[in-house]
Amino acid sequence: MKRSILALVTGLVIWAVVATLLNFGLRAGLPGYRVAEPAMTFTLGMKIARLTLGALASLAAGAAAGLIAPSKPGVRWVLGAVILALFIPSHPVWYHLTFLGTLVPLVALGGAMVGCNGADRREEIAANVDRAPTVGQN
């Protein structure tokens, strides 16, 4: 239970950190982004960049949760649902349908990318290393 809570909290922190850092990049790299941000009057390119930012932050959050609690895949889904719940009130659904619709699956995918069942995966890797031929063996 402690690992699940730690995975959930860490995933939330990772999402916020990754999103914030990438948003700094958008402000620095996209002309007009800083001016458009307060009123959310984004160009199509800015919207695509923001969707990409959200996808990358979601993958990172899921990966972090998956590393901390690899045998608890449900934690990733709960994390995605919590992130989704945090964004629904502040974002119009019609505008962010892609963003909101991909939050939960991308968090789950991020966790799956690092191996949902970490203990089993570590055993599989160790078994493959033991069977690998050494230099000079045929």
d(Cα 20, Cα 39) in Å, to the nearest integer?
18
Tell me the percentage of the chain whose pLDDT exceeds 90: 41
CA angle at residue 81 from 105 to 61, to 5 degrees?
65
- Which candidate, 88, 90, 64, 62, places its Cα nearest to that of 77? 62
> CA separation (Å) from 109 to 69, 113, 123?
14, 6, 21
Question: Which residue, chain included where needed, has tokens 């892609």?
Answer: 98
Other CB atoms within 10 Å distance of the CB of residue 131: 7
Most confident of 14-28, 31-45, 90-104: 14-28
Higher pLDDT, 31 or 96: 31
Integer Rg of the chain from CA: 19
Within 8 A by CB and 6+ apart from 80, the residues are: 58, 62, 103, 104, 105, 106, 107, 108
**Amino acid 124: pLDDT:** 57
Question: Which residue, chain included where needed, has tokens 């659904």?
Answer: 93
Q: Helical H runs in 1-138?
A: 2-29, 33-36, 44-68, 73-87, 97-113, 118-131
Span 41-76, pLDDT tens digits: 889 899 889 989 998 999 999 999 999 988 888 898
